[in-house]
Structure 1
Amino acid sequence: MGVYSDWNNRATVWLQKTPGRRFRIGLLAATVVTYPVGSILINGPLSKFTFPKRHSIEKLPESLARLADQEYRRFLEKENRIPKDAVINHHIQSTFEDEDTIASGSLGIRTGLNIAVPFYARFQSTENALEYFREKYADTMDFLSEKVRVPWSSGEPSSSELAESYVLSENALRFLFLRDLYAHDGYASLAQRSISWATWTSFTSIFTYWLHSKTKLGGGTAMSFAVIYTVFVGAAYYANKQWYLLYRYLSDVHADAEAARTSFDHAEGGKEYYWKMLKRNRIYRELKPSLFTKVTATGDVRGIATPIIVRYDHLKDVNAEDDELRQVINMDD
């Protein structure tokens, strides 16, 4: 206790001096700007170099590259954009890193967007998927940080159904490529989280300095500064995370709707994409009971920004509108 008191007293005296005040201001300023600057650099100008280092990716197979290019041109035409104002680098994940697309950057900035569609987008048939799983994964799969036993070679219905859920039709692939463009368009896709962090930490930094220096909360000691700083940074982190989840939810729902309304085939493809994702998750849940805490009975993953079931239901609503429109078109014919 004596050692702690001695350290606290000496640190408190130092913080009250000019170097100590500069340290506090510098620490608070660094808290505000370090993450935004680093994030924008990594996901902006440096994205082309950092994205391949952060993720296991490779070039799209020719069949997928053709679809991606067609959907990209469809996006440009629909949004009245030119290629230099919508720069994109398409990739495919080379491992089962993520069940959905991973992205870095933004389609709305000149440095462009880097995206990698899921590994399983390359599968062209159930047999193709089964053959790959039997060769590479024997009888286990990694899913949500859990080892799940899947008897690929046994011919059990669960293994065939699981393999089938990894195979996407052309409509689903077209929906996926177009959806990703809308989901990561605009400056907010790059800077929203950074701006939010800078905003929240600016407020918390002001309150931290004021509470410690002016109100002498906790006696104005070095330890009180450390406690106040930690509490406020934690609050800023939580607020920033929740704000980002809200932004991601709104962007995802908007992207789904824009892609699905492009054509009847895109709408059907979107429903297929999310339905197979839900089905796949339910199968894993049945095979591994410990996943009950991570996957709901419907196949949704707990804690993600945009629930899969919400996205599927939303596309069902869009599809209902399309069915009504289809009837009108048929009557006109």
Structure 2
Amino acid sequence: MRGNHTQTKFILLGIADRPCEQTPPFVLFLLIYIVTLVGNFAIFTLVWVSPSLHTPMYFFLAHFAFTDICYSTVISPRMLADLLSEDKTISFTGCMTQFLTFAFFATIECYLLAIMAYDRQVAICQPLLYVTIISSRVCWQLIASSYLFAFLSAIIYTWCVFGGSFCGPNRIDHFFCDVVPVLKLVCSDTHSSEMVIFAFVTINVVGTSMVILLSYISILCTVLRVCSAQSRARAFHTCASHLMSVSLFFGTSFFMYLQPPSSHRSLDKVASIIYTMVTPMLNPFIYSLRNKEVKGALLKCRRNSSATGNIEEFCHLGHEQSMCSVKANGALKY
């Protein structure tokens, strides 16, 4: 890292200032973290032990659940410990490591959301070509590319944030080491670093959100053309729940990282809580645990029998279109 780092440690100011205000958020965030771990770990384990879930959709969901576990664990344990401790210091290396891992998993989350939206778009709009387009090899290539791009982006983010000179205050007005509060402590000029961060956030966040938006628009157009009224209602309900989770994650990310540092206000911590803690907790319920096939796999594991739950399709077309022939290949398991 470049620059003269005279600071060897930082102080995280956290969420609450007074000790009497720290117990309620500690209990709340502990419950959120436990639900996040249990829900995502259940999905991750279930996908790998249930042969009926060995499809591209659940392959991506398993990686998504793993990312949510890691993504939340980077932030939550440290924040919970600080709520109970008077000593909120974190070393320079520890702060840099926390930010690097946070940026890595947050970027992976963006790419996985885009990949899952694209997977749904191909399954619904091009069902006869689904097996060819979303092959096992393509699945691994998409996952590997996501991890590679996320790692390179995280390195660049970390270089830009921690590459300056920290010779002044060391109090970070946040509950973890994030871009804006850390850059405020840099003594040297940060304009070039901010421009680089803005450019990469635009590529990673705006680019993936556009893929998601276009994919769901294509899905809805296809559903409106070929589905019955009942099927359209189910599809809209599913799309709405997915888009709610996506909107929470990307909306708060836009708010945090695509505005000038001088524009940030007290709502930054609220926005950070939403995309670091709330969305990882909601994702298992929105993407998996509401799915009848997942419930069937859970029931099968619990009873240890050969019976499986019935499949609830993302868009049940019955015999209306040949699209539903993809069911036999496990492509439309939504």
Tell me whether the two structures share a fold, i.e. TM-score over 0.5. Answer: no
What is the TM-score normalised by the length of structure 1? Answer: 0.29
The higher radius of gyration belongs to 1
What is the TM-score normalised by the length of structure 2? Answer: 0.29
Counting strand residues as a fraction of each chain, which structure ranks higher? 1
